[in-house]
Chains A and B, each alone.
Chain A
Amino acid sequence: MSDITRSDVAHLARLARLAVTDDELDVFSGQLDAILDTVGRVSEIDDDVPPTSHVAPLTNVLRPDEPEPSLEREVALAGAPAAEEGRFRVPRILGEEP
Chain B
Amino acid sequence: MSSAHHTAATELTRLDAAEIARRVQAREVSSVEVTRAHLARIEAVEGAGLNAFLHVAADQALAAAAAVDEEIAAGTVRSPLAGVPVAIKDNMATRDMPTTCASRILEGWRPPYDATAVAHLREAGLVPLGKTNLDEFAMGGSNENSAFGPVLNPWDRSRVPGGSSGGSAAATAAGETPLAIGSDTGGSIRQPGAFTGTVGVKPTYGTVSRYGLVAFSSSLDQIGPFGRTVLDAAMLHEVIGGHDPHDQTSVDAPLPPVVEAALAGARGDLAGVRVGVVNELSGEGYQTGVLSAFTDAVRVLTELGAEVVEVSCPSFTYAMPAYYLIAPSEASSNLARFDAMRYGLRVGDDGSHSTDEVMSLTREAGFGPEVKRRIMIGTHALSAGSYDALYGKAQKVRTLIVRDFTAAFERCDVLVSPTVPTTAFPIGDRVDDPVSMYLADLCTIPANLAGIAGLSVPCGRAAEDGMPVGLQVMTPALADDRAYRVGAAYELARDTASGVPFASTIPDPAALETAS
Interface residues of A (CB under 8 A from B): 8-9, 12-21, 24, 27-28, 31-32, 34-36, 38-47, 49-58, 61, 63, 71, 75-76, 78-82, 88, 90-95, 98
Contact = CB atoms under 8 A, between A and B. Distances in A.
B318 A41 contact: yes
B376 A17 contact: no
A43 B397 CA distance: 10
Interface residues of B, number: 74
A91 B252 CA distance: 43
Nearest to A83: B342
Contact of B395 (A27, A38, A52): A52
Contacts of A44: 318
Q: Which of A28, A45, A76 has the most CB of B within 10 A?
A: A45
B296 interface: no
Q: State the majority secondary structure of interface residues on B.
A: helix
A94 to B, nearest CB: 8
B356 to A, nearest CB: 7
B68 interface: no
Nearest to A63: B245
Contacts of B398: 51-53, 55
A90 to B, nearest CB: 5
Contact of B346 (A24, A42, A50, A82): A82
Q: State the majority secondary structure of interface residues on A.
A: loop
B399 A15 contact: no
B251 interface: yes
B436 to A, nearest CB: 10
Contact of B393 (A21, A42, A98): A42
A24 B325 CA distance: 21
B157 to A, nearest CB: 28
Interface string B355-379: 1111111011001010011011101
A95 B247 CA distance: 39
Given A17-B360, A19-B363, A19-B364, A82 B397 contact: no
Contacts of A57: 206, 251, 477
Contacts of B248: 58, 61
A69 to B, nearest CB: 12
A36 B393 contact: no
A61 to B, nearest CB: 4
Given A17-B359, A81-B344, A42 B245 contact: no
B359 A42 contact: no
A27 B432 CA distance: 10
